[in-house]
Structure 1
Amino acid sequence: MIQLEELLQRVEEKEEEMHQLLGDLVAFPTLSPPARNAAEAQQYIEEYLSRMDFEIDTWELYPGDPIVVGTKKGTDREHSRSLILNGHIDVAALDEGESWEHDPFTLTLKDDRLYGRGTADMKGGMAAVLFALKLLHEAGVEPAGDLHVQSVVGEEVGEAGTKSCGERGYHADLAIVADTSNCAIQGQGGVITGWITIESPETFHDAERRSIIHAGGGRYGAGAIEKMMKIIQSLQELERHWAVTKSSPGFPPGSTTINPAVIEGGRHAAFIADRCALWITVHYYPEEHYDDVIEEIEAHVRAAAQADPWLKNHAPQFKWGGTSMIEDRGEIFPAFSVDPAHPGVQQLQQAHKTIHGTPAETSMSPTVTDGGWLSEAGIPTILYGPGTLDQAHAVNESLDRRQLLDYTKTMMAFLYDWFQQTDDKEEA
């Protein structure tokens, strides 16, 4: 059996080859939105995995946006733990007029940084994982337990391609999401979006406003936009209450928030607004589930509505979550925590320490990833990838060259150990 030290040296020696792989991935303009443009990139990954003798499963999440899962059946499946390596191939959109110093779809190395759209979020992580697997395969180091590599789409716009993998039956004893974490071992809070709608059964002309709002007017009606102001105020009160009463390790106080992000109301200046819809984004802690958070918000808003003489008879309506910010203007990202006692977490910590000399930071990501869907499926999940959040989605997005190299070596050390472990499945 080849020694780990030799494999780590090969990572160093073949760094340029890894850059070529990352450059190939960056060259695919998998921007989301608009999305529906990942077929060629996924075909590239499918072929890359096939050359390593992975069995390929692929299906379309949406037309033009397929999911690719490569599977290697373990050499000792009965006694060995299975593993999912997960990443998304879609990248953040480019806005017109952005001032990029380099072509965003051409990988550029300058001052020890790798520039290009998706380098930090998260084609850098994808390239590192694929390259580490390639070197292991070439060295004849194969997994004892089943290995699934998931290349998904839709993460940037809440389309949860990873969720579809779980629905298709993919499960494992551990999942690692190679998304942006600055090489920290992280969990995350959760996010759910929702729409709150107020609607009047009657539409009044603007000239009737006096009759609705002044004494003796005799008209029972209301402006939906104005009534929504009461709902927003009630949400702010609940948000402040959460800041006082809720907390979670790894999060600053007040991280549970209710953001009134978009408001749509009225039909024309000549009419009193008969409809108003508020789009909110809710952040919650890993100790909670989005179903419970939804119930709490609805109860609070309904109580506020009962205190209003018009709203108590025209109750706000709710619509939560969604499967796509593009298709139905909604999303869910479940929360998850990392168990430091899990054998896989400890192995990853050891691999990180082997390469970096110090233990990996353990923390909670301030953003969200597809890792929540893996955890929601009952899989112990770790967020661990290269890149920093200030570079994700940024103009002139870049990734530290040395960090990418060390991340690749860390994953090599982890996989080398994981692949050869047997007789410990029950301990996991």
Structure 2
Amino acid sequence: MVGIKWGMKLNKREALLKDVKTREAEWLTLLQNLIRFETPAPPARNTSSIQNFVAEELQASGCTIDRWPLYPGDEVVVGTKMGYENEKAPKLILNGHVDVAQVDESEPWQHEPFSPLIEDGYVYGRGAADMKGGLAGILFSLRLLNDYGISFPGDIYVQSVTGEEVGEAGTKSCTTRGYDADFALVADTSNLEIQGQGGVVTGWVTVKSRKTFHDAERQRMIHAGGGIYGASAIEKMMKVINSLQELERHWAVTKSYPGFPYGSTTINPAVIEGGRHAAFVADECHLWITVHYYPDEHHDEVIQEIESHLQKAAAADPWLRHHPLEFQWGGTSMIEDRGEVFPPLAVDESNPGVKLLKQAHEQVHKEAPTVSMSPTVTDGGWFSDAGIPAVIYGPGDLANAHAVDERVSVEQLRTYIQTLVCFLLDWGEID
């Protein structure tokens, strides 16, 4: 609690860290309960029940609850632990998502995805690593601190969101609803490294013919003297893909950012759709691309660079120059409109919240944490987009996220909770 002497605080800290160990069965049960809720996205629209559970947990820890629908069947819950001082006291966001990766019936799981099992020092189940383990850590840390009667000068907001797996930005809805803070900790999969991230934007490139031709007319389109000015949209899309590969290679040697391996600015041709029937020449083709960019870039600039490059390549083609490429970028849902944007997140190591988190990690692990850049994306970028300093810091590693027999280490989850407890204790001391 703020105001106690260091010796008293140290004793309370030691007692809290010991309790994390002795109450291990509690937080393991909490994680198992979270995993039992079947919340894969897609199909999504299935998180109301788990959000009821999370809201009850937060209320039991002294939080007031705000909740709203993101989509029918998918809700966002924010628990507020009210501070005891004025509005100038620093505010903190703890953020996690309850949706998990899709499970395909053909996947060879040894353990039922939504029937959690503890075995050989791991908790198995869909979402164990990404990221119900991190959310369980947040919920138990608040429960423990509440049991000790520890309060904070500024408000603490616990955001339990949905939509992260399919780009539906439940976290963004929190910022637009008015939740602001001095620092945000996103408990997503980082293997207990303090991380930022690049950005991601998806887009569709379309090649379209003004005319549709029967397959029997193809010979007149490709042979001298055939007399038909036409082309297959699928074949022309191959030129688009080749041009994207050229741009990707150019980026690999001209762009860089600290913490990222060279070549992290990728353009992935993820999905291709084209043609209508085997008896027709394809008159339309659509390419869905995923673009990764660095924190010092904005997706609008990246989009403009891609479009300019492709249009110049198209201008060199005798058919494409008269059939302009069409583009559709971003979106609010991979399910609803098949598009997404994840803003980047830079780590400011001079930020007081980052310094406290590094200090808390070192207190528990007896070594400084690694500060790195995630090769994937999380909701952390929405805080940066809203002007809120943030980091990604959670248990689990990406090798297990979205994987068959997904798992998280019990030991790592224990040290994660201990680090959160130390961080929250120190947070109350921020000036």
Q: Partners of 1:78 and 1:273 in 2: how far apart?
A: 62
Which position in structure 2 is the counterpart of 1:192?
A: 201
Q: Any idea what SS the aligned residue of 2:398 has?
A: coil
**TM-score, normalised via structure 2 length:** 0.96
Aligned positions of 1:15-164 closer than 5 A: 15-164=24-173
Judge which range, 63-72 or 345-354, deviates more: 63-72
* 2:390 match: 381
Instruction: Tell whether the 8 Å contact from 1:77 to 1:146 is kept in structure 2 after alignment.
Output: no
User: Could you tell me which of 404, 415, 425 is aligned with 2:424?
Assistant: 415
Partner in structure 2 of residue 338 of structure 1:
347
Residues 345-384 of structure 1 aligned to structure 2 (within 5 Å): 345-384=354-393
Q: Which residue of 2 aligns with 1:240?
A: 249
Is 1:9–2:29 an aligned residue pair? no
After TM superposition, give the deviation of residue 104 of structure 1 in Å.
Answer: 2.3
C-alpha distance in 2, partners of 1:414/1:70? 19
The residue aligned with 1:282 is 291
Distance 1:216 1:330 in 2: 43
Which of 216, 232, 237 is 1:207 aligned to? 216
Shift of 1:105: 2.0
Counterparts of 2:367 and 2:68, CA distance in 1? 41
Aligned AA (2:207): I
For 1:62, give the aligned amino acid: Y
> Match for 1:84: what amino acid?
I
Closer, same or farther in 2 for the Cα pair 1:37/1:239, shift >3 Å? same
The yes-or-no answer on 1:226 pairing with 2:235 is yes
CA distance in 2, matches of 1:309, 1:397: 50
Q: What's 1:322 paired with?
A: 331
Question: What SS does the aligned partner of 2:271 have?
Answer: strand
The answer for the alignment partner of 1:271 in structure 2 is 280
Structure 1 residues 322, 214: closer, same or farther in 2, change over 3 A?
same
Q: Which residue of 2 aligns with 1:256?
A: 265
Output the CA distance in 2 between the equivalents of 1:149 and 1:44.
Answer: 14
Unaligned runs of 5+ in 2: 2-8
**Shift in Å at residue 107 of structure 1?**
2.6
How many aligned positions are there? 422
State the TM-score, normalized to the length of structure 1: 0.96
In the aligned structure 1, how far is the partner of 2:369 from the partner of 2:257? 20
Q: Report Cα offsets for 1:308-358 as digits up to 9, x if no partner.
A: 121111100000111111111111111111101101100000000000000
- Contact residue 81 and residue 173 of structure 1 kept, 8 A: yes
Paired residues of 1:191 and 1:368 also in contact (CA < 8 A): yes
Query: C-alpha offsets along residues 394-418 of structure 1, whole Å, 9 cap, x if unaligned?
Result: 1111111111000000000000110
Cα distance, 1:108 vs structure 2: 1.8
Q: Shift of residue 32 of structure 1? A: 1.2
Q: Does 1:400 align with 2:409?
A: yes
- TM-superposed CA distance for 1:161, in Å, is 0.9
Distance 1:396 1:208 in 2: 52
Matching residue of 2:4: none
Whether the aligned pair in 2 keeps the contact of 1:32 and 1:92 (CA below 8 Å) is: yes
SS of the residue 1:288 aligns to: coil
SS at match of 1:68: strand
Matched residues in 2 for 1:267 and 1:277: separation? 12
8 Å CA contact 1:141–1:419 kept in 2: the answer is no
Q: Bigger shift: 322-331 or 118-127?
A: 322-331
Residue aligned with 1:393, SS = coil
Rounded Cα–Cα distance in structure 2 between residues aligned with 1:81 and 1:169: 16
Native 8 Å contact 1:27 1:105 kept in 2? yes
Deviation (angstroms), 1:94: 1.4
SS at match of 1:9: helix
Q: Give the alignment's Cα RMSD to 1 decimal.
A: 1.2
- 2:350 match: secondary structure: coil
CA apart distance, 1:228 = 0.9
Question: CA 1:97–1:266 in 2, change beyond 3 Å: closer, same or farther?
Answer: closer
Task: Return the alpha-carbon distance in structure 1 between the equivalents of residues 250 and 90 of structure 2.
Answer: 43
Q: Which moved more, 1:177-186 or 1:98-107?
A: 98-107
Moved more, 92-101 or 274-283: 92-101
Letter in 2 for 1:168: R
Q: Partners of 2:172 and 2:187 in 1: how far apart?
A: 16
Q: Which amino acid aligns with 1:294?
A: I
Instruction: Check the 8 A contact 1:189/1:334 in 2, yes or no.
Output: yes
Mapped partners of 1:419, 1:276: distance in 2: 56
1:179 aligns with 2:171: no
| Alpha-carbon contact 1:174-1:381 (below 8 Å) kept | yes
Gaps of 5+ in 1: none
Secondary structure of the residue that 2:427 maps to in structure 1? helix
Aligned match of 2:5: none
